[in-house]
Structure 1
Amino acid sequence: MFDDDYKQLLEKIHSAEKIWLISETRFGFISFQAKKIVDRIMPLLTIYLTCSGPYMRHVTRYRHNPDWGVLYIGDGDKVLMSDWCSRFTSNLGVKSLGVYDILHVEEADL
């Protein structure tokens, strides 16, 4: 168990309409720090799984979860990150807001 302020952060994440993850990129993907944030949102889901097309997905704990998008800095692999973001948001039962290079932030629906 971590002794930090993540519980309060999780409450804010849960009540938001949109979450934009802003990250530097390493090896074409989001940084390990950003990935750690995503990994720690699992309390928004339950341990139960359900079939969704050809995939197994977690059952969401709450009716509402925010839509997620990624703004990245550096030489990210946009195709890889877009596919990951789509799968991640599908597991949460929400909409992907897309993946955008910070230099083209005007394309994002902020």
Structure 2
Amino acid sequence: MSLLVTAGQAGDAPQFTAVMDAIAVPRLGGGRPRQRPYRVLADKAYSSRAIRSWLRQHRIAATIPQPADQQAHRLRRGSRGGRPPAFDKHTYRQRNIAERCINRLK
């Protein structure tokens, strides 16, 4: 898919758009690869307004859990806090496949 190597102290989230722009998803029947996946599974570090809006603009579904501090802030705002982002626990469990692959590569 895509790989971007950065310094160890660099955060992952700021590199999100660069990694997504480099993706090429191969088609099963041949042809030009798709440039965008249908869905992104990510951990809580990627739960930011900027990343979620980038995904919405590119019509990519997101399965990203919301950190407790973001949930609390949204609830503190009451009705102005908005609706919580959709989250599918069953789909999120598939993320461990990628995590195990990364562990093997290390």
1 or 2, which has the higher strand percentage?
Answer: 1
Structure with more contact order per residue of length (Cα contacts < 8 Å, sep ≥ 6): 1
When normalised by structure 1's length, the TM-score is 0.29
When normalised by structure 2's length, the TM-score is 0.30
